[in-house]
A and B are shown apart, each in its own frame.
Chain A
Amino acid sequence: MNIPEILADCNKIFIDELGNPSIVLKPESTASDIEEWDSLTHIQLIVAIEKHFKIRFTTAEIQNFKNVGEMCTCIQKRISK
């Protein structure tokens, strides 16, 4: 999978989990850009993404994503493993 494909899947998950159909994710998006994305829903998103891609992030990865782009890169790295 390439990054745009991963980003598109993540976008669907964000819409679904946060219940907001108007969310448009970009690689540079962060929690401050999306109203419903807080520390609580962050975990919910992570768990949904893990289930979708059948991967598991480490604790450090979860804490250190600076933006959506970094998260997608990490997902790509994990799927290819």
Chain B
Amino acid sequence: MDFKQIKINLKKDFTGYKKVKVAIIADSATQYLAQAIRGIGYERKLDIEVWEAPYDAIDITVNDDKSELYEFKPDFTLVFLSVQKMKTKFYKTGFDAEFAQNTINYLKRTVSVISTKIKTNFLIFNFPDGLDPVFGNFGGKIRNSFSYQVKKMNVELMDWMQNDTSVSLIDLCGLQSMYGFSNAIDNRLYISSDVHFSMDFALEVANNCVQVIDVYSGNSKKCLILDLDNTIWGGIIGDDGLENIQIGDLGIGKIYTGIQTWIKALKDRGIILAVCSKNDELNAREPFEKHPDMVLKSDDIAVFVANWSNKHDNIKYIQSILNIGFDSMVFIDDNPFERNMVRTYLPEICVPELPEDPADYLSYLNKLNLFETNAYTHEDKERTQLYKAEALRNAASLTYSSEREFLKNLDMVSEVKAIDLFSIPRVSQLTQRSNQFNLRTVRYTEEDIKRIVSKNDAYTTFDFSLSDKYGSHGLIGIIILEKKNDETLFIDTWIMSCRVLKRGMEKFMLNEIMKFAQKNNFKNVIGEYLETKKNIIVKDHYESLGFYKEKNLWYCNVKEYKFNSCYIKNANE
């Protein structure tokens, strides 16, 4: 991607792409960044409208009630204070040891003023670090050095974010370390136009911002599919044998240990791992079970496919078991032919091109930042176990004569409760990430959910966990009911995780809604289906549950409701 391509993209037709509004507030010139964000958004099917605050006029923009910022109503507000300008300010203060704290306080004030006017997510750039220009290494020993203050600001910024879900980081400092100062900054642009990034680096920064925005729009990678030979170990297991593949601390093996360590950490974070290899299955599994230097073990892999079929067919099989979109999968393979085959047959899946030298694989993959996320919950850590249990269930389902028999024998139990402090992060995450079984696709931040939960005169919430004899699915369903008046409940949110499709869970959930409605003398429950590209599976949801349609809404009469039979027990009954 270069600026020429950005310019070409800017002229393209964005019709049908998801609209996102982004405001940039900065103390330097940001036109390139703004163009690059929109141009890169095109590649991700995002129609990003960018509004730039007037040049170096943050306070005026923020404090003016009639500011265009507040008319624009951005979904995201980028706040970029340049470290070069900050340096000048710092030296004017005479080496102020409180500089970092004051700057962070200034940022907090700015964010809080904007938050009183509009609802927006803040993406705040942190501050690139370097050897202290005045004190050198000694800068580490005194609080009065700029390098100390910059490091402190970066930590303070992250500490602030731990408790404020509307504020997120753009790790400019991390990016600049990756690309190097001389690549990140073009002194001539800085001097002549107050542009604080080189042209090429502006693209990297924009790409990073778009990655974060994309995750908030519900697009994140959930699964990594691995080739084996010469991808996660050196050599070919079928030819070289267990003793001769390269893995471990020595020589070439070190490359693959590094890659596996990264993959294992991704798995521990909640990325599902699958294997797709052209091998005999016994050979392919052997290293996972017997090689002492393997970081990845059989238990880490949710779906293991090794045979001689086409990789794209095998990946389709993996997708069918995991039941997630191809666009949330990444496939890595050292073989350019296989990569191209998969790209051709499954264009939605992300297949990174790899550099020629395997020693460069890991840093190359890390630079791509494929697995950007916006939450980390208990469920994430357990995800591989969840999907492995799912594979067992799938196998068991084949042994029963009918689906009913199978469901009956699962011994399903659901725990139902109001959304509480413990479930808020997971609930928010489900609203952000669920695309398929999601009736209205309203995205909520943790702050939004807190607000909803606190207004219990206006809203009633339920979260649902499901377990069966194979294990727990965790929290898999959410319902948010809005009390329109004394007689009417509106289903504001109905989300279910796709891993519990075809279990009768939706019937169970509706029964719970109706129990609540009857107990509190409501007469009508109203549902709405808002179509997106991805939620077609629930198009007939309300109809199949017996709702009737009037205009664009679905109605259910509480008195006449016949409770659905299903094989799920309520844990509290």
Q: Please list the residues of chain A having a beta carbon within 8 angstroms of any beta carbon in chain B.
A: 16-19, 39-40, 43-44, 47-48, 57-59, 62-63
Contacts and interface: CB of A to CB of B under 8 A. Distances in A.
B191 A59 contact: yes
B24 to A, nearest CB: 15
Contact of B188 (A39, A40, A44, A59): A59
A17 B188 contact: no
Contacts of B3: 17, 44, 47
Contact of A39 (B7, B8, B35, B193): B193
B32 A59 contact: no
B192 A62 contact: yes
Given A57-B188, A59-B187, A59-B188, A43 B4 contact: no
A49 to B, nearest CB: 12
A47 B199 contact: yes
A43 B199 contact: yes
Nearest to A46: B188
B31 interface: yes
B237 to A, nearest CB: 44
B195 A43 contact: yes
B60 interface: no
Chain A contact residues, majority secondary structure: helix
B189 interface: yes
11 contacts: A17-B3, A17-B4, A19-B8, A19-B11, A40-B31, A40-B32, A44-B4, A44-B199, A47-B199, A59-B191, A59-B192
Interface string B451-481: 0000000000000000000000000000000
Contacts, number: 35
A63 B192 contact: yes
Nearest to A61: B188
Interface string B171-196: 00000000000000001110111010
Interface residues of B, number: 17
A22 B199 CA distance: 25
B84 to A, nearest CB: 15
A58 B11 CA distance: 32
Given A18-B7, A19-B11, A44-B199, 11 more contacts: A17-B3, A19-B7, A39-B193, A43-B32, A43-B189, A43-B193, A43-B199, A44-B4, A48-B4, A57-B188, A62-B192
Contacts of A18: 7
Interface in B512-571: none
A13 to B, nearest CB: 10
A58 B195 CA distance: 16
Nearest to A13: B4
A58 B186 CA distance: 11
Which of B4, B35, B187, B188 gathers most chain A CB within 10 Å?
A: B188
A16 B3 CA distance: 11
Contacts of A62: 188, 192
A4 B62 CA distance: 52
A39 B31 CA distance: 11
A37 to B, nearest CB: 13
B182 to A, nearest CB: 12
A51 B193 CA distance: 20
Given A40-B31, A40-B32, A47-B199, A16 B4 contact: yes
A39 B193 CA distance: 9
A19 B39 CA distance: 15
Contacts of B193: 39, 43
Nearest to A63: B192
Contacts of B8: 19
Contacts of B195: 43
Contacts of B32: 40, 43
Nearest to B188: A59
Contacts of B187: 59
Interface string B115-130: 0000000000000000
B210 to A, nearest CB: 20
A19 B187 CA distance: 27
Contacts of B11: 19
Nearest to B35: A40
B31 A58 contact: no
Q: 6 nearest interchain CB pairs? A: A59-B188, A47-B199, A59-B191, A44-B3, A40-B31, A17-B4
A34 to B, nearest CB: 15
A79 to B, nearest CB: 19
